[in-house]
A and B are shown apart, each in its own frame.
Chain A
Amino acid sequence: MDRSRHAIEGWLEARIEHWQALDQDLQRQLDMPVESAADLMTLVQGLRGVARDLSLAREVMPGNRITAYLEQLYVRAHEIVYRPARNPWQDLKRAFVQDAPRVVREIRGSILATVTLFLSCMLTGWLLVAEHPELAALFASAEMISQTQQGELWTDGLLNILPSSVVAVAIIANNLTVTLFAFALGAFFGLGTLYIISLNGLMLGGVFAFAGQYGLDGRLFEFVVAHGVVELSVVCLAGAAGVGLGEALMRPGPRTRVEAFREAVSRAGTLLLVAVPFLAGAGLIEGYVSPDPAYSMGQRLVIGVGYGLLFWLVLGGLVFRSRSSHGEKEKARLDAVAAASDSG
């Protein structure tokens, strides 16, 4: 008994300095990544040492705080030694070049369905207000209605009231909210997404029909076209991602519901990461171009269609194509190597 106590004392005395040194090393690692190979080897050896010590401590002093200390030291060291290489810029580039276009291809069914839903709700809203003009009160505020009845569009004096930059900031905040909700509410089996997409479609159609009754629909289109293409595209994409959440929850396939949900969120995340920055551009256009009478219809069309085209080309993977074909070549090379080693 006494000899084993001596052994434990000897072990503690010999090891405590190592633990404290490792503790400090790990503290430093949080601030900056491992620089030299020697540092790395020190860490790896430190981890192995602590693993041995922890096993021993669990045997000879269970429930003691020395054991608890070693446990958390081990967890921290393990995390740093085994952490995957992280390169956020590389990840971001890959999201734009490869991942987002791949996700768009994967969920093109949902995208098509969402766009169809949006357009048919737009048509419904238009028909409703055209047939029953009194329904305009559902989609437009009393102020908007009285202004329109005087032959003015509510967007006309926008820049007299607010500077462009403020309009842009407010619009970006609003669009971001709508986009994120259109996606996130898909967690309710897709129903929240369907609600937001339908409501926005109904409103747009209804407002156009209402403006049309006073012969202002042409001017409303002129206001909307420069920023609207990308704005509505982003909302529809977010909606498709939200529908994907509902799909994962209703028909998870061979996986569990949580796994399917997690995968749908991760796919949607990549998509939103690429699509959402375009909202900033759309907001700037809506603040600086759309309310400014200096821009002609032609210029507005070019801006709107051009920006929309850029958006869909990026998400279709057509802008950064050369890179991805390089990746395919690389994949083909690896496949060839694998095939050769299989046969060998």
Chain B
Amino acid sequence: MLQRVGIEQLFRVLVPLARHHAVRNPGIGHLPFLGMTDALHLTTADGMDISLEVAGVGSRSYAFVIDWHIRMLFVLAWLATALLGYDALGLGSYREWLDFDSSQVVYLVILPPALVYFLYHPVLEILMQGRTPGKRLAGVRVVTTDGRTPGVGALLARNLLRLVDSLPSFYLVGLVVAMMTSRHVRIGDLAAGTMLVHESKVSSESLQTATRLALSQSLAPADQELLLDLLERWGSLHRQARIDLGSRFLAKIGEAMPEDHMLGSEQQSQSSAALDQALFERLSSLAGGR
């Protein structure tokens, strides 16, 4: 019985408490683990107000870890290929590399992975407008503090200062600074006037779905969004959660439940499967027959 009161239950109590506390004390509202998000609010030259969602320590680390693995995989693959290829081509044994005494070894084996390792971030950030493959996967990008894509100088500066942020190891300095600054940036970002924001990810297809829904249904815009959100997450939710959310959504918009949910309780598991399926079909047809 005791085992059942696990971390999950603890969090159920603690997180709302912490949120409540954060709302009443806005000073600590930017602590990332409370689920509060910060935004960079800007007014553009033609007077529009826009806001970009600031990426916290978690997203930053996530992106970095992906990038680090990409680099390491490349380096290891390169060394392994060289190791196998060297013997095969009769260029001598890999033991001789350790003496670093041949220019061939330096130029073919050591230099390329070293260059990739050290130039990965600056070069890719410049070429991909403030992104790297890891940042793209984590859904973040580098922008200047006025919301633009940074120039070459700023990107080089933020990468040069990695030397400091990565001290003494595991980016300890950078992590601590990012936790303490209001925009969750490391020293390199402070130096370059840059920060990380989340990329907005509404694709063209998603726009078409939403437009079709907006044109075909008389749902309120917020309900349309709720419906699309629910359908997108349908596959990743538990059946009971799907039934719960689906029925609540139908109740909210004043629609009737699907017919076939009135089965006997002895067939409960089958009935919930049927209800699940019926709900999905009902919601899909509401969304315009997906």
Contact = CB atoms under 8 A, between A and B. Distances in A.
Interface of A: 5, 8-9, 12-13, 16, 19-20, 23, 30, 47-48, 51, 54-55, 60-69, 71-72, 74-75, 78-79, 82-83, 86, 88, 91, 161-163, 165-166, 169-170, 173, 180-181, 183-185, 187-188, 258, 261-262, 265-266, 269, 272
A88 B48 contact: no
23 contacts: A9-B215, A16-B208, A30-B129, A51-B48, A60-B221, A63-B225, A64-B214, A65-B202, A66-B211, A69-B206, A69-B207, A72-B200, A72-B202, A78-B45, A78-B46, A82-B44, A82-B45, A163-B103, A165-B103, A169-B106, A173-B114, A184-B163, A266-B153
B130 to A, nearest CB: 11
Contacts of B89: none
Q: Which 7 A-B pairs have the closest CB atoms?
A: A61-B221, A72-B200, A69-B202, A265-B191, A184-B163, A64-B221, A187-B164
A12 to B, nearest CB: 6
A187 B187 contact: yes
A78 B146 CA distance: 12
Interface residues of B, number: 48
A68 B211 contact: no
A166 B103 contact: yes
Contacts of B215: 9, 12-13
Nearest to A183: B160
A91 B152 CA distance: 10
A82 B129 CA distance: 16
Contacts of A83: 148-149
A27 B114 CA distance: 33
B30 to A, nearest CB: 17
Given A61-B224, A64-B221, A65-B207, 10 more contacts: A9-B214, A23-B204, A64-B224, A65-B210, A66-B210, A68-B200, A91-B152, A166-B101, A265-B191, A269-B157
A8 B214 contact: yes
A65 B161 contact: no
Interface of B: 44-46, 48, 50, 52, 100-103, 106, 111, 114, 129, 147-149, 151-153, 156-157, 160-161, 163-164, 187, 190-193, 199-200, 202, 204, 206-208, 210-211, 214-215, 218, 221-222, 224-225, 228
Contact of B211 (A16, A75, A180): A16
Contacts of B149: 79, 83
Contacts of A63: 221-222, 225
A169 B102 CA distance: 12
B163 A180 contact: yes
Contacts of A74: 48, 50
